[in-house]
Amino acid sequence: MKFSEFKYVRPDLDVVKADLEKQIALVGSGQPLDVEIKAVYEVFAINDKIGTLGTLVSIRNSIDTTDEFYEKEQEFFDENGPVLKQYEHQFNDKLLNSSNRKGLEKEFGSLLFIRGEIAKKTFKPEIIEDLQKENKLSTEYGKLISSAKIEFQGGIYNLSQMGPFLQNKDRETRHLAQLAVSKFFAENEAQFDRIYDDMVKVRHLIAKKLGYENFVQLGYDRFGRTDYTSKDVKNYRDQIYEDIVPLVTELTARKAKRLGIENPKSYDLALSFLSGNPTPKGDRAWQVERAKKMYDEMSPETSEFFNFMLSHELLDLDAKAGKQGGGYCTYLPEYRAPFIFANFNGTSHDVDVLTHEAGHAFQVYQSRDLLPEYRWPTMEAAEIHSMSMEFLAWPWIDSFFLEDTPKYKFSHLAGAVSFLPYGVLVDEFQHGIYEHPEMSPDERKAWWRKTEKKYMPFKDYGDDLFMEKGTFWFRQGHIFGAPFYYIDYTLAQVCAFQYWIKHQSNRREALDSYLALCRLGGSKSFLGLIESAKLKNPFVKGTVKEIVKPIRAYLDAVDDTKL
């Protein structure tokens, strides 16, 4: 079946609830072990069925946010998702307290129970209404972002489609493009402020109702983080500040010199070369054809995966009116199918999507036969697969960029390093917000700008007074929809750099290690996975300093003034 033929019918919640109640009743109630095991698998199957329908709605709603049918169905899932969460809570509770727990752990692995203990803390039936409110606010933010209709140079564009103008070789075009984008956010400032203010308040309220001091630890627990704390994350952020910020400041100065700009402004940061940023030399169909050749040659496993994606039409890549911004990969369990969503805009980001999101999709494709709970690792581990795939694609990258290949490799590596300070800035900002939920919208903006100056001292907004007051984060969807999911990208990047280093010296060894990591899915914790893959732990002081040495050496060896 092709994706367009995947069938959606609104689930009958009474039937779903009755089925769940029947199976959950058999768990932790003195039944023989084999009866309990069968019931657990039945619960997994019911959850997969409802999860597939919810994901189908979410995908089709994000492909066309103006489609009234899927808009209504999204509202249905926003409303009823938290109601079904209480069954998850009951199931988890009974599993943890079963007299057959040892036998169940043998069948399902102990990580399921460790995560279960954490999940137990994140839900009580009395927060259902608050969770519904949080879901609705998240959907409202998505709609507000995708409503952007920016008038620029005689056309009307959404935020994704403004990307090429922000990388234009003409400085004044970049400048005016940034001001045009800022104008959209300025016109909707009150709405962004209200949505986020309501989100912070409802999340703080949920945390208090669950017995947490504030939302910080609840945010960590929601992501199932089992082996590190906010203190570990702070130590890691300090490494980025000490070892990466000086390098990125140097790279930014090198870029300004390349561009012949004495006082670079924020609108200069997205352009890397006076000859223009590297761009793929063909349209979406041309790029997909090259991606197919790349994955066919990379390994039998990647070949099988990408051909599966193509034959079932599981990629939606074109930017179009009414389509939600950004890119993601998700999974439809009933069809055993990953799905990739993106907004191609003619920049190198298009190729990054074909490697990054395909890395996520490839990992879950390799983990399809694991328990539902282990198909995906936790977020910081999941991003290792996507970011590493970007580097594993380097031997084929010339087929996308042709004469721009040296530029792409330099800017890809320099860009990945330069992302780290921004990633930890987003994290530090959120810690401050949820530790001080009483902050006013203006105080939040001031806090962003202060933290931004710490990690990105080179970012000067010039005459863009709206951005100067600390509003860049309005466009960072993770801050709204997935609080504390951003440090994950940076932790994964530090791990992916280790694959880049391995790949430089032994391509086969790097790929074999990567395949083995993908097959583990989420059957181990973050630190358990990186230990299995023999990667260095990012939380250990000195790791970042050591990993950045060969990267600096590579970048220093390139005469970027000739690119």
170-202 confidence digits (pLDDT tens) = 999 999 999 999 999 999 999 999 999 999 999
Q: What mean pLDDT is predicted for residues 519-541?
A: 97
Q: How far apart are CA 15 and CA 23, in angstroms?
A: 13
**Integer Cα distance of 81 and 464 in angstroms:** 41
Measured distance CA(502)–CA(392) in Å, rounded: 10
* pLDDT of amino acid 314: 98
Residue 85 pLDDT more than 90?
Answer: no
With 90 as the cut, is the pLDDT of residue 82 above it? Answer: no
pLDDT surpasses 90 at 501: yes
What are 133-150's pLDDT values in tens digits?
999 999 999 999 999 999
**Residue pair 554/413 in contact by the 8 Å Cβ criterion:** yes
- Predicted confidence band at 389 (pLDDT cuts at 50, 70, 90)? very high
Closest CA to 306 of 364, 360, 388, 362: 362
Residue 326 has pLDDT above 90, yes or no: no
Q: Just give the CATH number of 224-280+379-563.
A: 1.10.1370.30
- To 10 degrees, the CA torsion angle through 349, 352, 357, 359? -170
The 8-class DSSP code of residue 458 comes to: T
Query: Sign of the C-alpha dihedral, residues 278, 282, 287, 293?
Result: negative
Share of the chain above pLDDT 70, in %: 100
Across the chain, what does the average pLDDT equal? Answer: 96
Q: Give the pLDDT band of residue 325 (cuts 50, 70, 90).
A: confident
Asked if residue 109 lies in contact with residue 371, where contact means CB atoms within 8 angstroms, the answer is: yes
pTM equals 0.90
pLDDT given at position 411: 93
> Strand, coil or helix: what is 15?
helix
